Structure 1
Amino acid sequence: MNANTNRRFKPSPSPQGSESDDSGIFNERILLLVFRTIKWDLRTLCITASLNRKLRAIAERLLWRELCFNRAPRMLAALTTGAPNARVGGGWNALAKLMFFCCGCQSSRHFKVAQPLPGHFVHESRFSKTSGQSFLTKKCRGDLLYVSDPCEHSNGRDEDNLGIYRGIFRGFMRSKTRAFLIKREVRLEETTRCPYCGARVWSMTTARLVPKSVARRLGTHDGGLEYFVCVNGHLHGSCWLVPLSSEEDDGGNSKDVDDEEEEEEEEEEVECYGEVGEMGFDDRTVTDESRSSRGGGPVPTGQIRTKLKVGME
C-alpha cells in the first residue's frame, strides 16, 4: 500500500458526544490496515462483507478491489490500464469470485454432461493472456482476454475428464468481440446466466466465434467444448480433456496453431490461508469441494493453502 493510498482514505473526525460511522470497524483506513495485516484472507473478507449493509457497501466499493490488486497486481494493472480509479464490468466482487471460484458445469445446447457439477472454491488457478489470445478470432486479436487453465474434474475411469475454465476481458464494452456479437445480431441466451455477476450471456458456439486454436490450447477436440461471454466481459466454459497421443506430444499438426505465437509466460504465485468448509461469498454460499471432485475424499477442516498463479506475458 503506497503513500497515495494512505492519503486517499483519511478517516473523518468524529463529532463530539456521538459515535460516527468512521469509527471502529467502519473506518475504511482501519479496515485496509487490518486486511493488509492478515494478507487479505478471502474467508475473512467474505464474512466481513456479510455482517451488515454498511460493511457490504465498503467491501463492494473498496475491499474487493484491494483484494484483487493484492492477489494479482500485474494482471489487474493490465485490465485497468493502470488507472487508479478504474472500474470493472460487474463489480470488483464479481471479479474476486471469478479469480477464486470454479463455477461448475451444467448441460447446455452444445455441451452435454451426465449430471450437473457444482461449483467450488479453488485451491490453485493460473490465468494467462496467451491463453486468452487462443480464444479470440483473428479479427478480434486486438482484445485483451485473460483465461484460466481448466479446472480438471474426473468423469469416470474410462471417460475423458471434464475441464472448466473462466476468464475476463479488458474493457469489454469497447472490445472487437462485443462489436462482432452486436453486428451479427447474436441473441443472448435465455436460460444461461453468468455465474459471477448474474448478467445475460452470449454462446460463442452459437455466434460461431470459437477459433480452432481454443481446442488445441485446452487439450480437447473440435466440438468438445463450449463457452459463454456475459455482457460484462466474464467468460466461463467447459470442455472434455482428451489424453494426448505421442504424436501430439511431439508437436502435432502445426496447421492448427492458427498463427498463434508462443511466448514465455511469467507467473506470480499468491498464497491465501483460510478455513475450509462452507464459506459465504457475497449473498451466496460457496462450498469447498475441490478435493472431493478430484477423488481425494472430503476436505478436512482446519487450514488450507490457496494459490493463485497469474500468467503474465
Structure 2
Amino acid sequence: MSERGPSKRRLSGASNGGSEGNAAGGGSGAAAGQWEGSGNAARIRGVNAGIMDEKVLELVFRTLNWDPQSLCVVARVSRRLRAVAERVLWRELCVSRAPRMVAALTGGAPASAPAAGRIGGGWPALAKLLLFCCGAAGAAVPGHFAPVSRFSKTSGRSFLSRRCARDLLYVSDPCEHAVAGAADDVGAYRGVFRGFMRSRTRAWLVGHRAPLEPRVRCPYCGARVWSMTAAGLAPRSASRRLGANDGCLEYFVCVSGHLHGSCWLARLSDSEGAGPDGSDADDASADEDDVGL
C-alpha cells in the first residue's frame, strides 16, 4: 500500500498539470490538459473517438444507403451526434442522392468536396427538401416522404420571371395527390435557389419591399416566406410547366431560398405535351437529378 500511494499521487499531479509540470516549463501540464476523461473514455480534445469518429459514422450510414429515418434517430441521441450529423452526415446524404444538383448549388464544387460551397438553410434542410413532399395545406394534403422525385433546372426556369432569368433554381416535378370530392388532383412541388442571397429574385423582393407572409413558414427550414403570386413574380410559364389550371397556382420562397407550393392539375389527354414516357421532351438528362429513398 505504501508503494502504490506515491505512484498514484505522482500520476494525479502530472495529469492535473502539477508542480513538476510547471517546473518543466508547463509542458506536462499543457499535454495533460489536452486529455479529458479516463480509461477507454479518454480522448484528445477536438479529436473524436470510437463511434463519435466521423469516418466511422460515414461508413455506417453508407452501408445503410444513407437511410434518412435512421439518420434522424441518431441525430436525436445527443448534441454531439447532432452536430456531426449537421456538419457531415446530412451533407453526404445530399451528395449521394443528387450529386449533380449539389455540385451546381455549391458553385460547381465536385461531389467529393461539397463543403467548398454554402447551402442556404443548411444541409439538413436541403436533405428534407430532397426527400420530403410538404403536401398542400389548403387541400388538406399531409406531408410525406416521397419515394422518388425529379429536380430540374429547366423546370426552375419556368418559375423565374424575365427580370430574374439569370438565377439558378431547381424545381421538382409535382407530387400528385387525389382529393376526395374534387375532380382534379393536387400537385405539390418544391425547389431551391443557388446563392439566394445574391439572386435577382431576392434583390427584387427586397428592393420592392414585398411583404413577408404572416402565417406561412418554410416547411424545410422554418424561415419566413414571400408569396410569389402576391409579389407578381409567378410567371404563367410555371402553370404551363406543371400542367396546372390558370389561376390555380401558388408558391412561396423563404429567406433561405427554398421554394414550395401547390396547384390544381388539369386533366390532360395522352397526346398533350408529353413524350412517350410521360416526360416533357425538352428535359435533358444532364439537366435533371432523380432523388429516391
- For the superposition of Structure 1 and Structure 2, which TM-score range results when normalised by the shorter chain? 0.7 to 0.9
| Contact 2:186–2:263 under 8 Å retained in 1 | yes
Report the counterpart of residue 254 of structure 1 in structure 2. none
Report the counterpart of residue 75 of structure 1 in structure 2. 101
2:84 to 51, 58, 72: 58
1:45 partner letter: L
* Aligned equivalents of 1:40, 1:268: Cα separation in 2: 17
Task: Report how far residue 52 of structure 1 moved.
Answer: 1.2
Report the counterpart of residue 123 of structure 2 in structure 1. 92
1:196 to 220, 223, 239: 220
Q: Cα distance 1:31–1:246, how it changes in 2: closer, same or farther (>3 A)? A: closer
* Aligned equivalents of 1:41, 1:13: Cα separation in 2: 34
SS of corresponding position for 2:215:
coil
* Aligned equivalents of 2:55, 2:259: Cα separation in 1: 33
Q: Within the alignment, does 1:162 sit opposite 2:180 as a pair? A: no
Report the counterpart of residue 11 of structure 2 in structure 1. none
Q: Calculate the aligned-residue CA RMSD, in Å.
A: 2.4
| Contact 1:14–1:22 under 8 Å retained in 2 | no
Q: Which runs of 5+ in 1 are unaligned?
A: 1-11, 108-112, 252-260, 272-305, 307-313
* Aligned equivalents of 1:33, 1:182: Cα separation in 2: 43
SS of corresponding position for 1:221:
strand
| Contact 1:102–1:151 under 8 Å retained in 2 | yes
Q: Greater Rg, structure 1 or structure 2?
A: 2
Question: Where does 1:1-313 land on structure 2 (aligned, <5 Å)?
Answer: 17=39, 18-20=41-43, 22-83=48-109, 84=113, 85=115, 86-107=117-138, 113=139, 116-156=140-180, 159-245=183-269, 248-249=272-273, 262-266=282-286, 267=288, 269=290, 306=293
Report the counterpart of residue 4 of structure 2 in structure 1. none
SS of corresponding position for 2:244:
coil
TM-score normalised per structure 1:
0.73
Task: Report how far residue 125 of structure 1 moved.
Answer: 0.6
Q: Cα distance 1:19–1:189, how it changes in 2: closer, same or farther (>3 A)? A: same
TM-score normalised per structure 2:
0.77
SS of corresponding position for 1:190:
strand
* Aligned equivalents of 1:247, 1:35: Cα separation in 2: 44
| Contact 2:131–2:291 under 8 Å retained in 1 | no
2:183 partner letter: E
| Contact 2:152–2:289 under 8 Å retained in 1 | no
SS of corresponding position for 2:87:
helix
* Aligned equivalents of 2:242, 2:127: Cα separation in 1: 23
* Aligned equivalents of 1:136, 1:31: Cα separation in 2: 39
Task: Report how far residue 241 of structure 1 moved.
Answer: 0.5
Task: Report how far residue 217 of structure 1 moved.
Answer: 0.3
Task: Report how far residue 245 of structure 1 moved.
Answer: 4.8
* Aligned equivalents of 1:270, 1:38: Cα separation in 2: 16
The count of aligned residue pairs is 245
SS of corresponding position for 1:117:
coil
Q: Deviations over 1:53-83 (max 9, x none)?
A: 1101110111101110111111100000134
* Between structures 1 and 2, the one with greater helix share: 2
Q: Which has the higher contact order (CA 8 A, sep 6+)?
A: 1
Higher deviation after alignment, 236-245 or 186-195: 236-245
